[in-house]
Structure 1
């Protein structure tokens, strides 16, 4: 019986590539593993798969009675609804420890670094398994995405070394130029619905019993969304009602200006203002230097609840 490997809901490139790269490693180690996904892929992930000939994992959202490895998360809110009915064999992640629990011992690789694929690169090195050229290229792009081309405060020397090592394997010297192509693809918003934009990289959180949703759009130039802010807010209102959220936030992250505009709808906006020492105007504010949701947003927002 196959074991399934997947990342969080509304998967980003790290989740998709992480499932692919970990599945290959586990298969080389003698386990029968299949990479799957919990949601639709983003334009950035599509770019990465096309660039390196990767195959989009099958969509699978139910895992009752299955054995699984999970990548890039450990929060119940980002897991399949029936995760409690599955057997979690392992977790590979780079976020805070979430609230998933298991009935049996498991393999855990959780590191405070910039990307889950960097952790998986360490696993390949540990087990002395050679990384194929195509998978190395996808892993390299996932790390460059998650670290915002090394600009994110989550980026470590381990991440930069992993990118350099992977660039040699996949034969791409100017990996920063490729990363800019990737972010340009990620920035494409023409024809995308407000719901698509709000959920491209959206994560729900249970903050001490309070439901909070935080999405992020990383773009080369967020000004292209200026005419669509009202549309984004209207859809955020629907999402807030549908999921019975206390607070929903969207980060519009400008990788060139190195900061984020936040859009906020909340039952108590003062919690957001207190978290970041700001005053919201029209439910918006600019956060200078903020590029990382997991290091610069969640650790400050969660204590408010």
Structure 2
């Protein structure tokens, strides 16, 4: 079982229309609602791949109940911990040209609620083959929350995939996550360099065993203990990129769980990510496109990126 942790899940609303008129009223012909958050999206993709996945995290209020009802309807195992605050919403506005997403901050989490979650998390680790730690931290949680979760997973012999940004990412690196998966913006912000080759090595120098950076239509750049790879889709695919990174994380977690070779993990991650762009909502992918892309993803092993340190380190 792969355990996905979403400490700040959301009730996702997607408004789809042909074109958004700025500074004007817009009638929305299509509205979709589903349980969301990065780890939830990862679990959906794993379930679609016929892999056992469990969703845990923190949820509360009316939005939390709606979120959990959707998890049940999707057949996803729900091990969320109840909190008093209201689960946030996200709103994605998608037209034929682009997608704009509005993100609420999430509920205030108390020390007692965090303690209850840690107890639940350690129970779930007993049956986990890998853990995915994804997304933002809600207000009230310690800045090193992900470091704590990685250390607990390591104490149970369970490897982790971390998909976070900013201080939540940097504070977690000394715990040694097995894989870190930033996008290009998150990588540059965390490492102080726009060069993704230097960026991935700086995160490795800070503690990550492997770093896989999402570079949008340019695919993935990976730096691992076994070497470096670039993996690209055969051609750019137009569509909604929301959730594409989560699909890549699902593939990386599955590869970590099964011990698949790195080129295979990256091929599956790129194919899933590209197929997700063709789907209307995060957590879903175009199955036919995925299988067609698998054999066409380009995986190359260039010279290994040069070692580097984070800015300010000796």
TM-score between both structures, scaled by the size of structure 2: 0.32
TM-score between both structures, scaled by the size of structure 1: 0.33
